[in-house]
């Protein structure tokens, strides 16, 4: 499915199901796109996570129902997926800045949140620095943690800081010999060259590995192996200090390269962030990139 059509249908599907059980996985399944890619692209293009959008739309529609009907607050809460009046009132008050009872008596207190009407600039990404080429499958080894789609942007950088502080800052980066199996693995496999996002567990969550290419040998306790699939990959490259350069590249991919691309579409359930092992990540000429598995679109006869 074309990316522009996919996002618009995802929004339409969410709108049709605001009063039903609805999660990111169900939306992604409906439009036949990886939940990871759908959530990532949606947030880049709209500024909202999908979970935030669903909650905001439900709370706005709940407010409209309160002022248009005599339905009890407890029934309105249940209609829009809240288990108790207390949880509904808390979420409602946080969103509207007023309680359900207050809004019912004074409709001017409602915070408007209308359905998105998504407009996407289609440019094809011809000026982007990328190549599409076959890549043999290979294994990576690394430290794994599970994140939700909603907390990933804030929490993944903290994960990197935690691993660096625990295993690198006071030994490897200080030029000292490795002192534990994890530090040996970091050096032997260049762990930190890749950040690997793996969308294979569902329930609004995905796995993330701080990883390197596996060269063999023992896998220390607490570390994970993952095999990347063979296939065609679009490899985008950028230059500049982290994290701004890579975040800007992400935006370019989802705003300009993917929409309307005549040749390729995303596939699979993983992608890679690539970080050069040379230079400091704060350098103006630091090299990094994003690798995405793709397939060629079938041309109309």
How does pLDDT run across 28-45, given as a tens digit for each residue?
889 988 888 888 888 888
Rounded to an integer, what distance in angstroms lies between the CA atom of residue 83 and that of residue 87? 7
The whole-number pLDDT of residue 122 equals 47
pLDDT beyond 80 at 48: yes
The whole-number pLDDT of residue 190 equals 94
Long-range contacts of 170-179 (CB under 8 A, 24+ apart): none
- What is the dihedral sign for C-alpha 67, 69, 71, 72? positive
Nearest to 51 by CA among 119, 149, 147: 149
197 has which bridge partners? 208, 271
Rounded to an integer, what distance in angstroms lies between the CA atom of residue 287 and that of residue 201? 31
Exposure string for 256-289, b = 16+ CB within 10 A, e = fewer: bbbbebeebebebbbbbbbbeeeeebeeeebbbb
The whole-number pLDDT of residue 195 equals 95
CATH number of 130-296: 3.20.80.10
Rounded to an integer, what distance in angstroms lies between the CA atom of residue 187 and that of residue 231? 28
Residues whose CB falls within 8 Å of the CB of residue 12, separated by 6 or more in sequence, listed in order: none
The whole-number pLDDT of residue 124 equals 44
pLDDT beyond 50 at 225: yes
Rounded to an integer, what distance in angstroms lies between the CA atom of residue 257 and that of residue 238? 14
Residues whose CB falls within 8 Å of the CB of residue 8, separated by 6 or more in sequence, listed in order: 118
* CB of 131 closer than 8 Å to CB of 264: no
Give the pLDDT band of residue 1 (cuts 50, 70, 90).
low
User: How high is the mean pLDDT of the chain?
Assistant: 89
The whole-number pLDDT of residue 289 equals 95
Superfamily classification of domain 3-109: Homeodomain-like (1.10.10.60)
Give the pLDDT band of residue 266 (cuts 50, 70, 90).
confident
User: Tens digit of pLDDT for each residue in 81-109?
Assistant: 999 999 999 999 999 999 999 999 999 99
The whole-number pLDDT of residue 126 equals 46
The whole-number pLDDT of residue 3 equals 80
CA distance to 10, 140, 191, 261, per residue, from 42 (Å): 9, 28, 30, 17
Higher-pLDDT residue of 129 and 212 is 212
Q: What angle do CA 25, 136, 199 make, to 5 degrees?
A: 10
Question: What is the C-alpha R_g of the chain?
Answer: 22
Q: What is the number of other CB atoms lying within 10 angstroms of the CB of residue 186? A: 26
Give the pLDDT band of residue 278 (cuts 50, 70, 90).
confident
Rounded to an integer, what distance in angstroms lies between the CA atom of residue 91 and that of residue 89? 6
DSSP summary character for residue 283: S
Q: What residues does each domain of the chain span?
A: 3-109, 130-296
Residues whose CB falls within 8 Å of the CB of residue 193, separated by 6 or more in sequence, listed in order: 211, 212, 213, 274, 275, 277
Bond from prior residue into 243 cis (ω within 30 degrees of 0) = yes
* CB of 80 closer than 8 Å to CB of 66: no
The whole-number pLDDT of residue 279 equals 84
The whole-number pLDDT of residue 177 equals 85
Report the range of poorest mean pLDDT among 44-48, 116-120, 273-277, 291-295.
116-120
| % the chain with pLDDT above 90 | 57
Residues whose CB falls within 8 Å of the CB of residue 40, separated by 6 or more in sequence, listed in order: 149, 250, 254
Rounded to an integer, what distance in angstroms lies between the CA atom of residue 61 and that of residue 69? 12
Give the pLDDT band of residue 120 (cuts 50, 70, 90).
low
């Amino acid at each position: 499915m074309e990316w522009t059509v996919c996002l618009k249908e995802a929004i339409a599907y969410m709108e049709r199901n605001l009063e039903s059980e609805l999660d990111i996985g169900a939306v992604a399944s409906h439009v036949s796109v990886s939940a990871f890619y759908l959530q990532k692209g949606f947030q880049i293009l709209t500024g909202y996570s999908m979970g935030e959008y669903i909650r905001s739309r439900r709370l706005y529609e709940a407010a409209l129902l309160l002022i248009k009907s005599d339905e009890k607050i407890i029934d309105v809460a249940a209609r829009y997926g809240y288990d108790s009046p207390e949880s509904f009132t808390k979420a409602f008050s946080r969103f509207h800045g007023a309680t359900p009872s207050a809004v019912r008596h004074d409709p001017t207190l409602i915070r408007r949140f209308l359905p998105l009407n998504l407009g996407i600039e289609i440019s094809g990404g011809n000026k982007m620095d990328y190549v599409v080429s076959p890549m043999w499958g290979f294994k990576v080894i690394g430290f794994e943690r599970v994140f939700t789609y909603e907390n990933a942007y804030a929490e993944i950088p903290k994960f990197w800081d935690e691993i660096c502080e625990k295993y690198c800052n006071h030994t490897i980066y200080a030029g000292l010999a490795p002192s534990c199996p994890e530090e040996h693995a970091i050096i032997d496999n260049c762990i930190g060259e890749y950040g690997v996002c793996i969308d294979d567990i569902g329930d609004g969550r995905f796995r993330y590995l701080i990883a390197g290419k596996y060269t063999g040998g023992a896998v220390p306790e607490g570390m994970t192996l993952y095999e990347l699939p063979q296939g065609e990959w679009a490899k985008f490259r950028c230059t500049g200090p982290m994290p701004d350069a890579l975040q800007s590249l992400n935006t370019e991919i989802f705003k300009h390269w993917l929409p309307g691309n005549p040749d390729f579409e995303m596939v699979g359930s993983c992608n890679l962030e690539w970080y050069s092992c040379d230079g400091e990540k704060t350098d103006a000429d630091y090299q990094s990139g994003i690798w995405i598995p793709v397939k060629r679109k079938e041309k109309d006869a």
